[in-house]
Structure 1
Amino acid sequence: MSVSSSRRIRAAIAAAAVITTGVGVGTATADASPVSAPTRYQEPGGLLVSLDFQALSTAGWAKTEVTATADSDESPEATESTEATEPTESTEATEEAPAVVEPAPAPPTVTPDELARIVPGVAPEKINEFIAPLNDAMLQNGIDTPVRQAAFIAQLAVESDSFRTFEEYASGRAYEGRADLGNTQPGDGERYKGRGAIQITGRHNYEKLSQHTGVDFVANPELLATKENAFTTAAWYWTSRNLNQVADTAGIVRVSELVNGGHHALQRRVADFERGLSVLLQP
C-alpha cells in the first residue's frame, strides 16, 4: 500500500496560510487632493511550485492509493471495500501539527527622552503631558516608521513653536476673504485661523475636520486648540494629504510644502527631520 498524499496537501495548505500582503508660527493651509497609494502585495514566490499540482492530481485529493500485492487473494474491489471499514496498520494516522504564525510586532512608539532630543525646545514639563496623545495619534494613523514619525514631529515642532502653542500667534486677519481656504463669510479669517499641533487653517479645513471627527469645530473652533484634539486633528490633516506616502517617497521638502503651502521655516523643518531620524534610528 502506498503512502497517502494527504500530508503533502496539508503541508502545502499550511504554507499558503502563513503568506501575508505586505509671524513666527506656520500654518497648515495646503489643500492638496489626496494621492492614492497603490496596494502592494507580497509575491507568492515558490508557492505554486511547492503545491506540485501535477503530482497531487495523479495521487488524488482525498482517496488513499491502494496497490494489490501479487500474492493477495482479494480483488482490488474487495481491498477497497475492506479498507473503508477496517483501516490497516500501514494507513497513516499521524496528523501534522498546524503551522504557528507569530504575532506581528507592536508598532514603535516615541519615548519622552526621544521627544526631548528631537525637539530640544519643548518645555520639559510638557513632554509627559503630550507624549501619550502624540503616540496615539501616530499609531492610529499609520505614522509608524522612523521616517514617517520624524517627518510628522518635525512639522508639528515648527507649526506649534516646539509645542508652546496650539493656536497661531497672529490674529488671522491675513486670511480674511481667502476663498481658497473657504473663508467666504465676514470674520472667517480670525475665526478659523491656525489651530492644533499642525495649525489647521480656514473654514474649508474646519468643515472637513468636523465631518471626519464628529466634533463641531466650525461652531466651536477653539476646541481645536485643546491638547485632547491638537494631535488627533494634526494626524487627520496628515493622512488626508497622504503624507505618509509623501514622506516615504518624495521626501521632507515636499511634505513641508503640503503642510505649510510654501517654504516657511523650511531649513528648520529639514533639520528637525534629520535630527528626529537620527534619534529614532538608534538601536
Structure 2
Amino acid sequence: MSVSSLRRFRAAVAAAAVLTAALGVGTSAAHADTAPTAPTQTRFQEPRDLLRALDFDALAADGWTVTDEEEETDSAEATEVVELVAETTPAPPAVTPEELTRIVPGIPAEKVEQFIAPLNEAMARSGIDNPVRQAAFIAQLAVESDSFRTFEEYASGRAYEGRADLGNTHPGDGERYKGRGAIQITGRHNYEKVSEHIGVDFVAHPELLAAPENAFTTAAWYWTSRNLNEVADTAGIVRVSELVNGGHHALGRRIDDFKRGLDVLLQP
C-alpha cells in the first residue's frame, strides 16, 4: 500500500507549519512587534531537510490507504490548504534603501529612493526571494548599469552590427538594439522576446527599455527566462555572471558585489 501524494502534501504542509512556528522561522527583531524570546534570527532562515523526518513508507506499512471517496474529499480540502498557504505566507523581506546603498556603494544617492520600489517589486514577482538570489541579482544589475547610473549602454552598439546570434539581421540593428535596461538587454532577438512578455513594443521603441519603470521589469524577465534563480542556488555566481554577460567581463566586481550583498542581507 502507498500513501497518496495528496496526503503527503497535507502532512508536509502541516509539519512545515508546526516546525516553522516552533523554530520562529522568518522572524527578526527588526520586524517583530515584541522582543523575541528565542535567539535572534537572520532575515532569512529556512528549515533544512525537516520534512525528511516524515517517513511515508513507514506510514504505508502501518496500514495507511486512501479510498476514491477520500481522494475526492482531499482534493477539495487541498485547494483550501493551497489558498490558505498563499494568503498567510509572508512575502520575503524587501531590500531597504540603506541595504541597497551598502551593497552598491557607488549608487547615486538620488537614485536610491527612485529605484528601490521597482527593484523590490521585480524581485518579488520573479521569485528572487532569498539572500543568494537577491545578492546575485543586484550584483549583476550593479555592474551592468554602472552602479545604477545608467540604463543604456555607453558604447554606440556598432560592435553588435550583423550579430546573427543576437538577431541583428537588419542594417542598423547593432546601434538600435544596444544594451538597455538594468541588466543591459541586447540585440533584436531579446528585444522581441521581452516585448512579447512585457506587452511594450520595445522593437519599435527601443528607448523605452531604458525608462526606469521598464528597466527592472525587463531585467527580471531576462533573469527568469534563463532560470537564473536555480543557477544562483546551485551553480554559483560565476555561472550566473557567464549567463548574464556571456563571458567574464568585470567578473571580480560581480563576485565582490555578490559577497557584499550576502554580508548585508544575512545580517540579523
Is 1:132 aligned with 2:117?
yes
Is 1:19 aligned with 2:24?
no
Is 1:230 aligned with 2:188?
no
Aligned counterpart, 1:181: 166
Show structure 1 runs of 4+ deviating over 6 A.
Answer: 13-16
How far apart in 2 are the matches of 1:281 and 1:168? 32
Is the radius of gyration larger for structure 1 or structure 2? 1
How far apart in 2 are the matches of 1:186 and 1:55? 68
1:149 to partner: Cα distance:
0.3
How far apart in 2 are the matches of 1:139 and 1:55? 39
More helix by share: 2
Unaligned runs of 5+ in 2: 1-5, 17-48, 71-80
Contact 1:16-1:47 at 8 Å conserved across structures:
no
User: 1:245 aligned to 223, 230, 239, which one?
Assistant: 230
Aligned counterpart, 1:158: 143
* SS state at 2:12 partner: coil
Aligned counterpart, 2:36: none
Correspondence 1:175-214 to 2 at 5 A: 175-214=160-199
Pair 191,14 (structure 1): closer, same or farther in 2 beyond 3 Å? closer
Q: Comparing 45-54 with 212-221, which one deviates more in the overlay? A: 45-54
1:108 to partner: Cα distance:
1.8
What is the one-letter code of the residue matched to 2:224?
A: T
* SS state at 1:19 partner: helix
What is the root-mean-square deviation of aligned Cα atoms in Å? 2.8
What is the one-letter code of the residue matched to 2:213?
A: E
Unaligned runs of 5+ in 1: 1-12, 23-39, 62-98
List per-residue Cα deviations over 1:211-260 (Å, max 9, x = no partner).
Answer: 11111110010010000000000000001111111111111111111111
What is the one-letter code of the residue matched to 2:243?
A: L
- With normalisation by structure 1, the TM-score equals 0.69
1:16 to partner: Cα distance:
6.5
1:46 to partner: Cα distance:
3.3
Bigger relative contact order (CA 8 A; separation at least 6): 1
Q: Percent identity?
A: 72
Aligned counterpart, 2:35: none
Pair 44,207 (structure 1): closer, same or farther in 2 beyond 3 Å? farther
Contact 1:210-1:217 at 8 Å conserved across structures:
yes
Aligned counterpart, 1:45: 54
1:51 to partner: Cα distance:
7.4
How far apart in 2 are the matches of 1:256 and 1:55? 48
Pair 279,185 (structure 1): closer, same or farther in 2 beyond 3 Å? same
List per-residue Cα deviations over 1:56-94 (Å, max 9, x = no partner).
Answer: 99xxx9xxxxxxxxxxxxxxxxxxxxxxxxxxxxxxxxx
1:125 to partner: Cα distance:
1.1
- With normalisation by structure 2, the TM-score equals 0.72
